Chains A and B, each alone.
Chain A
């Protein structure tokens, strides 16, 4: 804003200069013209010239209103006068010269800028409204006058369209904010539990948005085309339930395991046909399937990185700056969102403790008598947790192995079939609280504790997930081996069938084998998809049941049994549950990881996830409001949003790996899925390029895919990364350097203040050095200097809204700190008369527009024109 002001000021100056130049020009013109014309011109000039000047001065006045408040009333009157009189002679606007037009345009632009930044001004609403109205009137009145003849019409049209566009944009903005769901719900949670709990719900909402887009992609481009245009159910072996399973295919217990009819539906990979094009649209389904699978990852990566970058941009402040510990505690620790007495009590308590902690830290910064004990406890805690992690990993591996033997046996029970999911969910349920108990040994600050907790649970989930994947991989490899056998059998069966029918009667085409009877391969892709589907569903159920039992039932019990119990349940042992931020965030993140991994093999998975997020928004909001209590130590997980995003990015990358591996290196099943019959899944791209594109595209593609090109490209990227990294490091260093300098400067200042009597010789020297240099510099760019100085001068009178005088880079602030005391104050006073002069141009005279003033009022007043 500082700069803006400056530039405006400059504009003003140049306008004034121009105005006087224009007058000179007009005078010359007039001299050279005939008397007849002269008369009219005189009249004309008499009317327009003060017009202009008035506008200029009016503009100036506006500027000064920002600074001083004393002259406000008078100015307002003045302005009113001028606008009312201005409207009376609008007919004169027809006869504006080019220069005037340009000037007018500039002013109109300025006003428009003012209108658009009105909301950023720290004024009272009344003032904002009146200034706004005036600026709008001005724009309204004068923008029509711009342009002539045809141009005028065009201009007016353009203006009209611009206005319409602004209105449309505003409506659209209104519409958009109306479409943001759950604003009130989140607000309610926020006011009860503070911003850290709300950040979970905001994250959940963001996740929902991302999943909605993925859902649109997958459903719009894969599932719906397949359902509408693909071959119907029962037409092909892969689209039919095998004869042996048909009897139970509709049983609920079978469907619940995603077998039976669900397994042979468009929700899973195996259902899709490898036909190149489907329907009358010639829709290339296999190609679309592949591209959608890739773009799911592409879009997610893009969205995550973009929002991370935006978050990073927003938080320009680096939290590691420990210069302002107490100041920040004082001015930013109260969370204005809190609107609940209980939370407020907790917040007061936590602020008090944090103040006390800092005071203690300050008084005895490195005195810790129990450092050895604490270290020992922390190491012990970590050892325990690593043991837990290893144990859970082994347990999962063991269970998955066991489930493979179960799957070969017939009629196993419900528990055996779902053992993997149950064990994984139970681990996810009991390990985090266990970790939390262990973490109590470590005695970290809750914010650091939360990070550790998150990291540990992350490791647990990740270990579990990857153990699961490894075991699944074993399974897949087994299936692949099995497939080779089945492939032969199928081949021979079909051959035998045709041969046998051909042997009977060679002229009649053999009746095709019923698709339900054809022997099938195991179709490992669908198996993987089903595994993920089941994992997701069981995860949802466990989450909901945990909330219901762990939070709601517990809350009910505590609330109602408390009347007849021997100790105080609410304050004592069970009490109410706190909302577990870390666990919930990680649950969400890992769930998303499973969705990303599974969505390639089970396109329907995203649909289920959308439903899950939708319900969990309502369910968790209800649960948190009804049965949780605010945290005992309400703290803000600062910059946690980027922390969550970092987790999401990590999990996205980790879930990309197995999918990419299977796509690149495993052969697709021979009898199911859109890529059957190909050696590798990505062959579909090559096929499309060869068959559907002209030859040269294929050639270009082959060149591009050449390792000779790819390796240099990667090299280039690596080099770029290296370079950018080096640059950012250099900036950081410079930053640190400047910070240090500033610190030194301050120390010096302090010293100087402390021993005022003994003048610091070095500073004196510095002052002597600096003062003449600034003076020497000033004559050539006097105007500019004056401008900045006038700004300084006004700021010392405290102009509201000069928000970031010291904002931005530490360079600027460093300079401000360095020069502020050194520049002699006389410079500041140089500017003072000028601003005063502008503010009170001709105190007594309310200049009406119609009457020409003999001396041009604006000319000699402001700064000297050159």
Chain B
């Protein structure tokens, strides 16, 4: 613990530890991961919190994300302006939510946002179709896709409005045995 670092002040590190599920070491590691994406853009001194934003193209090229079919959505959800460009804070936020320690509810909330492609606070049929097509790389026929989407809505739509609200989604996802173990990125 005695290793000197001049990237953050002690207060910043403490605050980050309070706001994320990371330890000091992990925060520093994440910072370096962030910096490695664009060493010329990101300064080595963050004590003044410079407003650096990395474009989505760089974020999406991380090995942790580059094979994920939902990478663009993830970046958009966690970026400040919804365009996929991320500051360090957004970056930390993202991996904190996706870390192993994050509680189910928090994960469910963000998973909902990720699958809500058109940002209308409901997962409607078009969102579901997009999800299926991303998951199967468009290998299902349109009939199959629409069948699957109908089944999902039939199963999970508690209040019968033909789309999934956050409550419906949570109700469904909280019972899923695999959700916690799959909705998680080890960094």
Binding site for B on A (CB under 8 A): 1, 115-116, 118-120, 122, 124-126, 128-129, 132-133, 170-171, 173-175, 177-178, 183, 186-187, 190-191, 195, 314-315, 317-319, 321, 323-328, 330-341, 343-344, 348, 351-352, 355-356, 359, 362, 636, 638-639, 746, 749-750, 753, 795, 798, 800-801, 803-807, 813, 816-817, 820-821
Contacts and interface: CB of A to CB of B under 8 A. Distances in A.
Nearest to A321: B175
A331 B111 contact: yes
A362 B160 CA distance: 21
6 pairs of A and B residues whose beta carbons are closest in the complex:
A803-B105, A125-B89, A344-B67, A326-B151, A352-B136, A128-B19
13 contacts: A126-B80, A319-B177, A326-B148, A326-B155, A334-B69, A337-B185, A348-B69, A351-B136, A636-B181, A638-B178, A803-B108, A807-B171, A820-B159
Interface string B127-154: 0100110011101100010011001100
A119 B19 contact: yes
A124 B180 contact: no
Contacts of B21: 119
- Looking at B111, B139, B167, the one whose CB has the most chain A CB atoms below 10 A away is B167
A132 B17 CA distance: 11
Interface string B109-122: 11100010000010
Contact of A129 (B89, B111, B173, B187): B89
Contacts of B109: 122, 800-801, 803
A327 B155 contact: yes
Contacts of A343: 67
Given A120-B103, A355-B148, A174 B155 contact: no
Nearest to A195: B181
B171 A174 contact: no
A806 B171 contact: yes
Contact of A125 (B90, B144, B167): B90
A336 B182 contact: yes
A340 B64 CA distance: 8
Interface residues of B, number: 77
Contacts of A806: 158, 167, 170-171, 174
Given A170-B17, A177-B23, A327-B172, A332 B1 contact: no
B89 to A, nearest CB: 3
A508 to B, nearest CB: 69
Given A120-B106, A807-B170, A174 B1 contact: yes
B63 A352 contact: no
Contacts of B160: 746, 749-750, 753
B45 interface: no
Given A803-B103, A804-B105, A806-B158, 16 more contacts: A122-B97, A124-B93, A177-B25, A187-B186, A331-B173, A332-B176, A334-B68, A336-B183, A337-B182, A348-B136, A355-B140, A356-B140, A638-B177, A801-B105, A801-B106, A807-B105
B177 A639 contact: yes
A518 B132 CA distance: 80
Nearest to B65: A339
A317 B182 contact: no
A805 B167 contact: yes
Contacts of B167: 795, 805-806, 816
B19 to A, nearest CB: 4
Contacts of A341: 67
A132 B25 contact: no
- Looking at A119, A187, A343, A813, the one whose CB has the most chain B CB atoms below 10 A away is A119
Contacts of A636: 178, 181-182
Nearest to B24: A174
A655 B155 CA distance: 46
Given A195-B181, A325-B155, A340 B67 contact: yes
A352 B148 contact: no
